[in-house]
Structure 1
Amino acid sequence: MSQDNTAGMPHGDHAPPDLSRYTLATPVEVVHHLASIAKSGHMVTVFSNKGKTFILTRFLEVDAKRGVLLLDWGADPVTNEQLLASERNVFVCSPEGVKTQFVTTAARKVMLDSGPAFEVDLPEQVIKLQRREFFRIQTPVGNPVSCHIADYPHQPLDLVLFDISLGGCSLWLPAPQTPGFELGQQYQNCTFELKPMGSLRVGIEIRHHLSTRLRNGNDAVRVGCAFLNMTPSSETLVQRYVGHLERERRALVG
């Protein structure tokens, strides 16, 4: 895979959100959840090299007795070596809409009957966001909504909106290596054109990343954001817009 600067952990003055109530911290809980992901065959993104590179993989096996997790070997030799050289790795996936994130120490190369694989020690804890705080709905593909980030470094940036809720949204990055979207990064001057309801002007904070493979085979990354500085009128605008999209969706499937 290519270089990716979007995967850093919270830094600077940006404090990470309080996720303690979503944390699995016992070995039994951790093993059970990771084993269910392995069984589903869901794609997992591993950010390595201090968030500068990433690899898409799958869990092969969760070995509770040895305390290790086996991962599928990647197709790109350079990225494989970067993962092996990384001392700290961040795993992110979203099986069935349940966002999962955890950190491990260095990966090791092991040989299985099927060929090479990665092996990492099981994490001590796993963050599992079991439910969404707000109803979230995808925005129209045929009439995409853009987020205009006026205070993006050097020049303003427009990103396509994937979905939205009262609490936040997710945005497609123009390229997996787009800089400036580390976890905890904030932008204060953002405008969303929520047609036909009006313009939403808020701040955003980057809360998570999700890598996916598009139908054309290309890799893409979207970032989940929390809204900042929401006013009562802003909340009303978003609620009206979400309701509008839901009515349109029901009309199409009804």
Structure 2
Amino acid sequence: MEDLSTARLLDTDRDGGLERYMLHGRRQIAQLLQALIDEHCLIAAHSGGGQSFVTALIRLDDDTVLLDVSPDPAANRRALMADRLLCITQLQRIRIQFSLHGLAEVSEDGRPALRAPLPEQLLRLQRRESYRLQVPLKHEVGVSLKAHDAAREPVQMDSRVIDISAGGIATVVPPGVAAFVIGDKLEDCRLRLPDTDPLALTLEVRNITPQPQRNGTELLRLGLQFVDLPGNAEARIQRYIFNTERERNAREKGGI
């Protein structure tokens, strides 16, 4: 599959898309990257194919950024060979994402480092503004919920995830199978994303909405928030969201 640039990956769509969260000004981007340096923020750097390593920015020049290398030489080789290095981090609970292209290995004060041109754009996404992706039917994204029935007996059910964000998921379940209450925490649930092992997580019930069906029956739409989501699980969820957006945007433009 063609590895599209971040610009195509995050194209604005008719539903609002992510364009409103993008920074394009070189000065703004440089200021935000400098803040990542000042706050010693760790960065998850993804080189494609499910490969990633933890790194940090070292310093900025006028037109370039220096990145710490991985202690794993193989990870550095993959980063240098990749079309882009997707960098994901947080600054004061705000998600920051940008792509670096044209990486080269250099020496910084006698130590190896990675150098790349300053990114042309950067995503700044506050958690409360987390972009929600409508999950394509063909992806068969699902969740196993562990809840209780009206008698407080344990119940486990599998349901399809209909949308997903960095903050949570929405799913639809039949009424009466479990007694869901807003504020309940559902522990030891399992989220199933394509091409990856299930993610163990805790979900908090945030909203419950009846969904009448054309055949006269009714389903319940559950809004579920991630609770204390581990960083590696959050990175895998974000990677799925952006890869799916990339595929959709490329398809709309006739790229695939």
Could you say which structure has the larger radius of gyration? 2
Q: Provide closer, same or farther for how the CA distance between residues 113 and 162 of structure 1 changes in structure 2, counting only shifts above 3 A.
A: farther
Partner of 1:245: none
Q: Which residue of 2 is the match for residue 24 of structure 1?
A: 23
2:57 to 47, 56, 59: 59
Equivalent positions of 1:38-117 (< 5 A) are 38-48=37-47, 50-63=48-61, 65=62, 67-117=63-113
Q: Distance in 2 between matches of 1:163 and 1:37?
A: 31
TM-score using structure 2 length:
0.52
Mapped partners of 2:100, 2:53: distance in 1: 14
TM-score (norm 1): 0.52
> For the structure 1 residues 24 and 165, does the alpha-carbon distance in structure 2 shift closer, same or farther, using more than 3 Å as the test?
farther
Cα distance in structure 2, aligned partners of 1:93 and 1:37: 9
How far the C-alpha of 1:19 sits from its partner, in A, is 1.1
The equivalent residue for 1:35 is 34
Q: Percent identity?
A: 23
Q: Write out per-residue CA displacement over residues 55-110 of structure 1, whole angstroms, 9 at most, x where no aligned residue.
A: 110010021x2x11101111001111111111212111112210011112121111
C-alpha displacement of 1:52:
3.1
Q: Distance in 1 between matches of 2:126 and 2:230?
A: 19
Once the two structures are TM-superposed, the CA of residue 203 in structure 1 deviates from its matched residue by 9.6
> Would the alpha carbon gap of residues 163 and 41 (structure 1) be closer, same or farther in structure 2, given more than 3 Å must change?
farther
1:144 aligns with 2:144: no
Kindly state the Cα deviation for residue 10 of structure 1 after the two structures are TM-superposed.
Answer: 6.2
* Cα pair distance change 1:153/1:201, threshold 3 Å: farther
Distance 1:203 1:165 in 2: 5
- 1:159 aligns with one of 191, 200, 203: 200
Is 2:206–2:223's contact at 8 Å kept on the other side of the alignment? no
State the Cα distance separating 1:147 from its structure 2 match: 3.9
- Say whether residues 1:221 and 2:233 are aligned partners: yes
Question: Which consecutive residues of structure 1, in runs of 5 or more, have no partner in the other structure?
Answer: 1-7, 167-198, 205-209, 213-219, 227-254
**How far apart are residue 131 of structure 1 and its match?**
5.4
122, 125, 134: which is aligned to 1:126? 122
SS at match of 2:233: strand
- Aligned-partner residue type, residue 202 of structure 2: L
Distance 1:84 1:10, change over 3 A: same
Sort the Cα spacing of 1:165 and 1:103 in 2 relative to 1 into closer, same or farther, 3 A. Answer: farther
Structure 2 counterpart of 1:102, one-letter code = F
Change (3 A) 1:51 1:32: farther
- 2: CA distance between counterparts of 1:129 and 1:160? 22
SS in structure 2 of the partner of residue 221 of structure 1: helix
Unaligned runs of 5+ in 2: 1-5, 131-166, 169-182, 208-218, 242-256
**Partner of 1:132: helix, strand, or coil?**
helix
In structure 1, give the amino acid aligned to 2:51. Answer: T
1:119 Cα shift?
0.6
Bigger RCO (CA 8 Å, 6+ sep): 1
Q: How has the CA–CA distance of structure 1 residues 15 and 211 changed in structure 2, closer, same or farther, with 3 Å as cutoff?
A: farther
Summarize the Cα distance change of 1:26–1:158 in structure 2 as closer, same or farther, 3 Å threshold.
closer
